[in-house]
């Protein structure tokens, strides 16, 4: 039987799924004040654990790529965010109380069978009222996104068309860098992703800010869709369950925002930028 490992990224003491195929991984252990006893560290072997402030959950991704060699299928979840393999919700994100979530057994599908019908599992995308280029510029630093495009143009020019399409003519985004995929695709994606991000890191000035400093994590959220689209992958979308005792998000709220955002996107589409701004000198 094939082996599946779904990393559960954690950075603090909290509840998380620990039974196989789930494997808790402490991200940024190289710079953490203490080790989490329930998780393996991302600081062994070939790793980028000390860059966690900028790469977020990608330090676990990189660690698995370089060191977790015996898994046939590799995935990434978070200690508060998991794929809903058992439900059939149409929401991109659904909240569930921690006592309800951790009191149940969470079964995963037969991935050998699942991947006969698809290539990758990703989070059900969230619709925005504007394209992903506009979304990134509103929340983050435009120059970083343009630098990423420039690096792709230099290193992987056949991906530029897909990058532009996903950023400028699309309003759907799968969040959180979450996925499950066969090992061969995981290796291919990781090689492409980190080759781009390491070069972008050399060219930009990373902000000394707890939000904007996480730039590599934000960029990779967008790049996963670019890579999947370019390679014509058949995507199995799953709702993301958010373990949260405070905020509540369900079908009603999701459908309302989806309708409003989709309408706003198409109404304003003719006025949106179709080509990226020139990269400032």
Give tens-digit pLDDT for 3-46: 999 999 999 999 999 999 999 999 999 999 999 999 999 999 99
Q: What SS3 state is found at 121?
A: strand
User: Is 206 inside any structural domain?
Assistant: yes
Q: Report the range of poorest mean pLDDT among 95-99, 197-201, 205-209, 263-267.
A: 263-267
In the predicted model, what is the mean pLDDT of the chain? 94
* Helix or strand run (H / E) with residue 76: strand 73-78
Compute the average pLDDT of residues 171-200: 98
Q: How far apart are CA 201 and CA 199, in angstroms?
A: 5
User: Is 46 inside any structural domain?
Assistant: yes
Compute the average pLDDT of residues 62-83: 97
User: Is 151 inside any structural domain?
Assistant: yes
pTM, two decimals, is 0.94
Structural domains in the chain (count): 1
Q: Would you state the structure tokens that stand for residue 233, as one six-digit string?
A: 């992958």
User: Is 65 inside any structural domain?
Assistant: yes
User: Is 276 inside any structural domain?
Assistant: no
pLDDT at 9: 98
Find the domain containing 232 and state its range.
4-271
Q: In this predicted model, what pLDDT tens digit does every residue of 242-258 receive, in sequence order?
A: 999 887 767 878 888 88
In the predicted structure, residue 239 carries a pLDDT above the cut 90 = yes
Confidence label for 281 from pLDDT (cuts 50, 70 and 90): very low
DSSP code per residue over 190-224:
HHHHHHHHHHHHHHS---SSTTGGGHHHHHHHHHH
Q: Report the range of poorest mean pLDDT among 11-15, 197-201, 202-206, 250-254.
A: 250-254
In the predicted structure, residue 116 carries a pLDDT above the cut 70 = yes
Confidence label for 276 from pLDDT (cuts 50, 70 and 90): low
Please say whether the beta carbons of 2 and 111 come within 8 A: yes
User: Is 280 inside any structural domain?
Assistant: no
Q: How far apart are CA 34 and CA 259, in angstroms?
A: 45
User: Is 164 inside any structural domain?
Assistant: yes
In the predicted structure, residue 274 carries a pLDDT above the cut 90 = no
Count other Cβ atoms within 10 Å, centred on residue 172.
Answer: 18
User: Is 277 inside any structural domain?
Assistant: no
């Amino acid at each position: 039987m094939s082996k599946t490992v779904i990393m559960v990224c954690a950075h603090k003491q909290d509840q998380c799924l620990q039974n196989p195929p789930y494997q808790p991984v402490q991200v940024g252990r190289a710079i953490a004040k203490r080790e989490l006893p329930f998780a393996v560290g991302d600081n062994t072997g070939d790793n980028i654990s000390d860059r966690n402030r900028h790469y977020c959950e990608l330090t676990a991704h990189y660690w698995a790529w370089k060191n977790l060699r015996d898994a046939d299928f590799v995935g990434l979840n978070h200690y508060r965010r998991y794929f809903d393999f058992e439900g059939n919700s149409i929401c991109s994100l659904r909240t569930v109380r921690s006592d309800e979530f951790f009191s149940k057994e969470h079964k995963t599908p037969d991935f050998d069978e699942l991947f006969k019908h698809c290539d990758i599992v990703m989070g059900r995308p969230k619709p925005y009222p504007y394209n992903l280029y506009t979304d990134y510029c509103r929340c983050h630093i435009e120059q970083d996104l343009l630098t990423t495009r420039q690096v792709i143009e230099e290193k992987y020019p056949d991906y530029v068309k897909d990058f532009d399409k996903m950023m400028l003519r699309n309003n759907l985004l799968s969040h959180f860098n979450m996925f499950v995929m066969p090992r061969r695709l995981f290796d291919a994606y990781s090689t492409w992703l980190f080759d781009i991000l390491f070069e972008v890191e050399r060219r930009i000035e990373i902000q000394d800010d707890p939000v904007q400093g996480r730039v590599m994590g934000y960029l990779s959220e967008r790049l996963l869709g670019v890579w999947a689209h370019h390679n014509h992958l058949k995507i199995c979308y799953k709702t993301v369950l958010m373990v949260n005792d405070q905020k509540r998000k369900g079908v009603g709220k999701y459908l309302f925002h989806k309708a409003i955002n989709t309408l706003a996107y198409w109404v304003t589409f003719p006025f949106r930028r179709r080509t990226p701004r020139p990269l400032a000198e």
